[in-house]
Structure 1
Amino acid sequence: MNTPLEEIGAIAEKISREASAIPMAHFRAALDIDAKADDSPVTVADRKTEAYIRDALQSAFPDHGIFGEEYGISGSLDGETWIIDPIDGTRSFITGSPLFGMLLGFLAEGRPKLGLVRMPALDETFVGLAGSGATLNGAAIHCRQTRTLSEAMIYLNEGERLAGMNPELFGRLCRSGHTRRMAYDCYPHALVAAGQIDAVVDCGLEPYDYLPLVGLIEAAGGVITDWQGRDLTLDSDGKVVTAATPELLQEMLELING
């Protein structure tokens, strides 16, 4: 990298802070909602936010590739690359829930080096930098040290999708751990990084949903893989598990795979 990672992180945080004004200007206001090809909703706020972020990144890093949810790929993804999800949780956004996020990831040498989760309506920003740790609004955070499933606080993302896809697995998950909650989108993963919960099981994700999480979770001392325990890449199948420790991850994988 020609630019130090700490400087890249500072620029990403500034861009996300400025961009967050766009969704907040539309939050809990009247919105026209369109449906994408997969029937997921999209709004003018999604598109304007990504356009702002893309323009700012291209200005700061003209040689970097970009892969965003709304406008696809710009440049090459073989080198230094940015991943953007302008509003992660559009369904939360359009229903007035503050649990929508903004995701930025930076990849170099084929691996996530930076992960940023900004929660505009909560005024919380989680940033993880490889080799430098993770922060929440500038204060250091770290995953918990929970190693056993029986003690774990678990979030199940996309519960209805999980139940429809594999009812037996959903049942096992609902009977496991110390505490379980149903949830959606990026915030539960950020809560693992912040040491609030221990694990998240997720599915149906795209690269712009999960790759920005990798840099944050790993910088906070946690682990995040697919359901087979493999590293997440642009080609992963969208089934994701996040855990506070490798030992807990292993128990989660054994549970998921029966």
Structure 2
Amino acid sequence: MNATEIESLTAFASQLADAAANVTLKHFRQQVTIDNKLDGKAFDPVTIADRDAETAIRTLIKASHPTHGILGEEHGREMGESALYWVLDPIDGTRSFIAGVPLWGTLIALNNGTRPMIGVMDQPYLGERYLGFPGGAKLIRHDEVHPIRTRPCASLSEAIMGTTDPVIFDRETELPAFKQVRSKTRLTRYGADCYFYCLVAAGLTDLVVEAGLQAYDIQALIPIIEGAGGIVTDWQGGDPQMGGRVIAAGDRRVHEEALEMLSKV
């Protein structure tokens, strides 16, 4: 993709976020039926807002870019003629959504067949939209555009770290490694899902450590973090785009220090 194509497709990704917001905001902090994807074995909630928001996004993609493929959390994979495909999580943080906590987000990524090139994290209730693309990242807040950059952080002892919830880690292997990293940080906070990654990109926090992710949980966030000057890898320092265990940092020094502990798992 050349610069003109990237600019055009980034603008289109923002239109997709608008379409999702028109759905999600109708249901947020309202009484909605909550279904459990896991049939009572555990709790993985989904609502009409998740399903209908993804449908709205897919409808626009098919109308404007019918050759593009789509991978979404709620409606699966549709192959396209093009190498380009969209990766969608209509509501990342459904637990926050059903609890009325405005830290969920709509995740939209465009993958060129090799890696995600464009990423959007939209939090429409707060009026915040984070976009990442080759060479940059920005926050659009109430129609004002702000370029964003990660902040310097020399060591974990100075770092603020986030993760969704300690229960996402395997108790025998991943949790001890996470606790080791946590013991070195200045502060650790929980419960913000995709929003944590954007706080790293905006230079407000320094590190996110997670596990058990799917491709649609992380692909939109990679261009945002990288475009802002940060780094995202798996726990072995490899490609994180298919999910699993992920570490994102604003400063490579913090990333390397945390990776030293996490890579032993």
| Shorter-chain TM band | over 0.9
1: CA distance, partners of 2:250 / 2:215: 21
Does residue 1:104 correspond to 2:108, yes or no?
A: yes
Identify the residue that residue 33 of structure 2 maps to in structure 1: 32
TM score, norm. by length of structure 1 = 0.93
How far apart are 1:109 and its partner, in Å? 4.3
2: CA distance, partners of 1:110 / 1:171: 33
TM score, norm. by length of structure 2 = 0.90
Identify the residue that residue 55 of structure 1 maps to in structure 2: 59
Judge conservation of contact 1:104–1:116 (CA < 8 Å) in 2: yes
DSSP-derived class of the 1:208 partner: helix
How far apart are 1:167 and its partner, in Å? 4.0
Identify the residue that residue 119 of structure 1 maps to in structure 2: 123
Percentage of identical aligned residues: 38
Identify the residue that residue 151 of structure 1 maps to in structure 2: 158
DSSP-derived class of the 2:188 partner: strand
Judge conservation of contact 1:66–1:77 (CA < 8 Å) in 2: no
DSSP-derived class of the 1:115 partner: strand
Judge conservation of contact 2:233–2:246 (CA < 8 Å) in 1: yes
DSSP-derived class of the 2:12 partner: helix
Matches within 5 A, 1:201-220: 201-220=209-228
Q: Which runs of 5+ in 2 are unaligned?
A: none
Worse overlay, 14-23 or 114-123: 14-23
1: CA distance, partners of 2:126 / 2:171: 31
Residue 135 of structure 1 is aligned with which of 134, 138, 141?
138
Judge conservation of contact 2:66–2:80 (CA < 8 Å) in 1: no
Identify the residue that residue 247 of structure 2 maps to in structure 1: 241
Alpha-carbon RMSD: 1.8
Q: Which runs of 5+ in 1 are unaligned?
A: none
Call closer, same or farther: CA 1:168–1:193 in 2, change over 3 Å: same
Aligned length: 255
Judge conservation of contact 1:99–1:121 (CA < 8 Å) in 2: no
DSSP-derived class of the 1:239 partner: strand
2: CA distance, partners of 1:209 / 1:216: 13
What letter corresponds to residue 91 of structure 1 in structure 2?
Answer: R
Judge conservation of contact 2:168–2:210 (CA < 8 Å) in 1: no
Identify the residue that residue 195 of structure 1 maps to in structure 2: 203
What letter corresponds to residue 149 of structure 1 in structure 2?
Answer: L
Call closer, same or farther: CA 1:78–1:201 in 2, change over 3 Å: farther
How far apart are 1:18 and its partner, in Å? 2.9
